[in-house]
Structure 1
Amino acid sequence: MRLPDMPLHDPFVVADAESRTYHLYTSNEPSVSGVDGVGTMVYRSRDLRDWTRPTVVFLTADQEGIWATDGAWAPEVHAWAGRYYLFTTLHDESKPLPVPPPGPWGTPLPMRNHLRGTVIAVSDSLLGPFTVLTPERPATPGQLMALDGTLHVDVSGQPWLVYAHEWLQTIDGTMEAVRLAPDLSRTDGDPVLLFKASDAPWLTEQIPAGVPHQLAPYITDGPQLHRAPDGSLLMLWSTYEKNAAGPDGTISGGYVQTCAVSGSGTVTGPWEQRRPLVRDDSGHGMLFHTFDGQLTLILHRPFENARGKLYDVGFEGAELRVLRHRTDLDGDG
C-alpha cells in the first residue's frame, strides 16, 4: 500500500530503530484492517513509501469496564520506562457533563457537552495488544471535554499529559497540561492553562473589518511537543483559520497546521504563537526523525477522507521551517 491508498486521520509515526521500521498509527478503519470495532490500527514500512496492510492493536470492546467505547481518535504511541503507551481519545454522547459556568462569551453549548477524554493504554510491543490503565475514567480531567492527549517529558524527567480542551465547553479552545504519575496511571496536581486558540494573532486577520466574530468557535486540536536544537520547546497544533463571513455573520475557514514556541523550554511557557506552517485544509501533524536523520512532518489532508502528507522540515534556531513536500512519498503532485 502507498499513502494515497491509505485512510489516515490524525497520523502518528514511531520510527523503531531496532527493527528499522516505521509504525504509522491511526484510528481503526474496518474496511482496510478487516477487523470490526472502534480502536487503533498500525501500518508499517521500511522506506515511508510502501506500507503493509494495517494491524489492529487496540479495540475498545476488549477493555473490560471501560467508561466509553466510541471515538478512538488521534492515537499516539510513546516509549516510556521500558514499555509502550497508547494515548487515544474516547467519548460517550449518552453521558452529559454538567453545564460549565458562563465564560467571557456567555454560556457555551450545553447540548453537545458530554463525556470526552483521552485514555492511556500499555503494551510490551508496538503491535499491541494495548490495555487501558484506568478503564473506569479518562486520564484527562473528568469534568472537561478534552481530546488529543499527548505525552511530554520535561528536562527533569517529569511526564506531563498535554491536551486540548474542547471549544464546545469554552468557545475559545485551550491547550492545557497536567503532571502524570511515574507509571502514567493518574494525574498529579491541577491542570495548567498553556494558551488559548485566540492567542494566535493571525487567526482572524482575513475577516472583513466590522464583522463580529467573537462568538465564532476558536478550536485547539492535535498538540505534539518537540525540543528545538536551541533548547526551546515547540508545540505543533491545529485550528481553523477564520477567513470568510457569511451574510448571517457565520464564520468559515480552513484547517491549518501551526505551531507555538516556549522560549523558556518549559511546557508551562510562556508560549508565543507562530504563523501557520501548512494550510490547504491540512493539520494534526507530528514530527519524527527518519532513519537517515531527516526531521519530517506528517499530517493529514484533507479533513474529510484524509490521507497522509509528508514534509522535510528543519529548524533555524527556534523556528521550524518547511523545506520540501515529499510528493515522491505521498503521491500529492
Structure 2
Amino acid sequence: MAKNQDIQIRDPFIYVDRKEGKYYMFGSTDKNIWGKGTGFDVWVGEDLENWEGPYPVFRPDTEFYSDENFWAPEVHYYKGSYYMFATFLRKDNGKRGTGILKSDSLMGPFLPHSETSVTPKDWFSLDGTLYIDKEGKPWMVFCHEWVEIGDGSICAVQLSEDLKEAIGEPVTLFSASQAPWPTSFEHRTRKSMKNYVTDGPFMYRAKNGELLMLWASFVDNIYAQGISRSVTGEITGEWKHDVETLYVDDGGHGMLFHDLNDELFLTLHSPNQTPNERPIFIPLEERNGMIRRKK
C-alpha cells in the first residue's frame, strides 16, 4: 500500500468507479518521462490517500508507432469500452500527438485503437481529451504545442463515432495569450519570441449548464491552472477566460472529478520538477458556475 507522497506521477487522471467503490489513478508513470517510454500503470484505491499498485495497463510491442514520451493518459468510458487518450512521440516523423487505446477493463491491457496519433500528423500536439457534445458526437480537445507555434493554442477536432480517427479539420478555440493570467517566457531556441504554454485541457459541465475548460500554463515560470468558459455552451466557443487562477503553487495538468461522496475535487501533480512530482487532491466548491478552492 502506498500513499500519495510515495507515488511519482505526472498528469494524474482519476476514474471513479461508483459500482466498485474504487478510484483508478492513471498518469505519466515512467520514472524519466522525458525519454524512452515503457508504458502506463494504474494505482487503485478506495479513498484518495492509500493506493495499491502500480499495475501495468499498457506495454507497447515493437510494432507500436512510438517508443518515447509516453504522457498524460486519460481513460473514458464510451459505448461499452474504456478508451485511453495518451500522448506519444511518433517514430516516423518525431512529432508528438495524441493516440487512442482501448480495453474492456480499467485494469487493461489497453491495446492500440487508432492507427497512429489522431492529432494532425505534421503538428506538435499533446494532451488530447474526450468531449461528447449535446448531440452525442465525440470530439477531442487538445493542445497545439508552443514548441512549434510559440503562442500555444487549444484546439478541437471531431472524431469518428468509433473513435478511430479525426474527421474534418481542427478548430482553434483560443491561444494562451488571449487569457489574462498566463505569462510569456523566453527559450534558448526562440529568443526573439514570446512563448506561452497550453497544457492539459479538461472539459467540465457545471451544474448551471455552463461548459468549462480547465487548463494549465505558467505564471512567472510557475506552473498553474486556470478556467475558461464557452459563451455559447458549445465546444467551438466563443471562449472567455476567468481572470483569477484556480491554482498557482507550482502544480498543474489537472482534472476535475466528483468523489464517491459527490464532492468536487481537483487533482494535479506538484511540484512540477522530476522526480519530485506527486499527486495532490484539492477540495473545491462550485457556485453558479464559479469554481474555487474550498475554504
CA distance in 2, matches of 1:55, 1:27: 13
1:46 paired residue number = 46
Residues 96 and 123 of structure 2 are in contact (CA less than 8 Å); yes or no, is this contact kept in structure 1?
A: yes
Q: CA deviation at 1:265?
A: 1.2
Query: 1:198 aligns to what SS in structure 2?
Result: helix
- Structure 2 length-normalised TM: 0.91
Runs of 4+ in 1 over 6 A off after TM superposition: none
CA distance in 2, matches of 1:48, 1:68: 32
1:184-333 residue pairs with structure 2 within 5 A?
A: 184-204=163-183, 215-241=193-219, 243=220, 253-274=221-242, 275-304=244-273, 305-324=276-295
Q: CA deviation at 1:37?
A: 5.5
Residues 37 and 59 of structure 1 are in contact (CA less than 8 Å); yes or no, is this contact kept in structure 2?
A: no
- Structure 1 length-normalised TM: 0.81
CA distance in 1, matches of 2:197, 2:37: 28
Q: CA deviation at 1:134?
A: 2.6
- 1:217-261 CA distances to partner (integer Å, 9 max, x unpaired)? 1000000000011111110100011x3xxxxxxxxx211011111
Which residue type is aligned with residue 276 of structure 1?
A: T
Q: 1:125 aligns with which of 85, 105, 123?
A: 105
Query: 2:148 aligns to what SS in structure 1?
Result: helix
CA distance in 1, matches of 2:104, 2:55: 16
Where do 5+ consecutive residues of structure 1 fail to align? 97-113, 206-212, 244-252, 325-333
Residues 173 and 219 of structure 1 are in contact (CA less than 8 Å); yes or no, is this contact kept in structure 2?
A: yes
Q: Which has the higher strand share?
A: 2
2:3 paired residue number = 2
Aligned-residue CA RMSD in angstroms? 2.0
Residues 261 and 318 of structure 1 are in contact (CA less than 8 Å); yes or no, is this contact kept in structure 2?
A: no
Which residue type is aligned with residue 50 of structure 2?
A: D
1:26-105 residue pairs with structure 2 within 5 A?
A: 26-29=27-30, 38-60=38-60, 62=61, 65-92=63-90, 95-96=92-93
Residues 10 and 26 of structure 1 are in contact (CA less than 8 Å); yes or no, is this contact kept in structure 2?
A: yes
Where do 5+ consecutive residues of structure 2 fail to align? 185-190
% same residue: 39
Q: CA deviation at 1:214?
A: 7.6
- 1:184-224 CA distances to partner (integer Å, 9 max, x unpaired)? 0011111011010001123349xxxxxxx982210000000
Which residue type is aligned with residue 90 of structure 1?
A: F
| Pair member with larger Rg | 1
CA distance in 1, matches of 2:57, 2:142: 22
- 1:143-167 CA distances to partner (integer Å, 9 max, x unpaired)? 1110000000011101001100000
**Greater mean deviation of Cα atoms: 257-266 or 71-80:** 257-266
Query: 1:69 aligns to what SS in structure 2?
Result: strand
Give aligned pairs, total. 283
